[in-house]
Amino acid sequence: MDDWKSKQGIYGAADPDDMDADVPLNDEARQPLSRKVSIASSKVNPYRMVIILRLFVLCVFLRYRILNPVPEAIPLWLTSIVCEIWFAVSWILDQFPKWYPIDRETYLDRLSLRYEREGEPSMLSPVDLFVSTVDPLKEPPLVTANTVLSILAVDYPVDKVSCYVSDDGASMLSFESLSETAEFARKWVPFCKKFNIEPRAPEFYFSRKVDYLKDKVQPTFVQERRAMKREYEEFKVRINALVSKAQKVPEEGWIMKDGTPWPGNNTRDHPGMIQVFLGHSGGLDTEGNELPRLVYVSREKRPGFQHHKKAGAMNRQIRVSAVLTNAPFMLNLDCDHYINNSKAIRESMCFLMDPQVGRKVCYVQFPQRFDGIDAHDRYANRNTVFFDVSLYSSQSHLHYA
């Protein structure tokens, strides 16, 4: 990683302050890109007291269970004791980040000052983003499309972003829906960047019950938003038509538009498939600007071989990306994990590309949020204690390649 950064001129293997010798040491760009923010004891201490109380009750319960065996069913009693101790240890380990929570603040302006100088190419690190899906009838293509669209519209240099969609079910439905998504992205991405909208997943943007005119000053916004919503509704109709068509598989198998059989008709015995839908050498948006790279990947499968499910699919994504883009950082998302903050990649780079702490950081996780939950959240599906108290809690993560 240091070798790559040295070649890019980001910083040398020696002192990071050796770079930009012409910039004064007290310049804003020299300052750290992030900092720890202390959390008031008044917010943390009540939960710590709850942890202590629960720990006391847990110790009393385990003492009673251990000292009172069941002679008539010793094997079952011993099994239950082992399970209870296991769950107790798991719970205790889960309390460590909650006992001493850490909050951090990033400085995106400093990141831009350091790595995006005016009149020079951006020095921000490239990122490969991986999206995994298997069965489009269980994981709706429209959900996957929203995840992909939120990736393509991120606030990051387009030549630094590449999205790889893994279709481990070798489904022609996934392939065709991704093709439709690529076409819609030509209109959606420039709209997002022109009006700086959030979130950049159209399904969730158009369904939000908020004042969408807030902070919008362009006179054409209302008209263009209305036109874009109509375009999205038509896009949804096309995706739904593909889903309806895929409900009944033809006896001869699926046939592609060029008349050739779909290579993935036999999902357990088919060759590998790679299709670049959008790339840096082509695929412009409606305003003539480049779009991030979008690649469809379906790994080869043969009978008699262990394919290791999602882990194997991700390994193939890494191998394909190593040939096409070979970015030093990877961001992994499930097909239903859209990016609700277009600056999320920049936020993570404030840790990974910080000259002081970047050498010690190789893994960044984002808090996870949930849509479609009732206002009272009676079943605690938001998991606010875990995701709002602890920084390190998510299923979406960015790390070194």
Q: Retrieve residue 318's tokens.
A: 């890494």
User: Helix H segments across 246-377?
Assistant: 309-324, 344-352
Is 334 known to sit in a ligand binding site? Answer: yes
Is 139 known to sit in a ligand binding site? Answer: yes
Residue 56 is which amino acid?
F
Q: Retrieve residue 382's tokens.
A: 């938001």
Cis peptide upstream of residue 16 (ω within 30 degrees of 0): no
Cα separation, 133 vs 165, in Å, equals 8
- Angle, CA 233 vertex, CA 227 and CA 236 arms, to 5°: 145
> Which of 121, 120, 143 lies closest to 131 in space, CA to CA?
143
Is 138 known to sit in a ligand binding site? Answer: yes
Which residues fall within 8 angstroms of residue 325, CB to CB, at 6 or more apart?
A: 126, 128, 162, 293
Q: What are φ and ψ of residue 293, in 5° steps?
A: -70, 135
Under 8 Å between Cβ of 342 and 367: no
Under 8 Å between Cβ of 180 and 145: yes
- Angle, CA 95 vertex, CA 91 and CA 99 arms, to 5°: 165
Binding-site entries for Mn(2+) = 310, 334
Annotated binding site: 132, 138-139, 168, 309-310, 334
- Residue numbers belonging to the annotated binding site for UDP-alpha-D-glucose: 132, 138-139, 168, 309
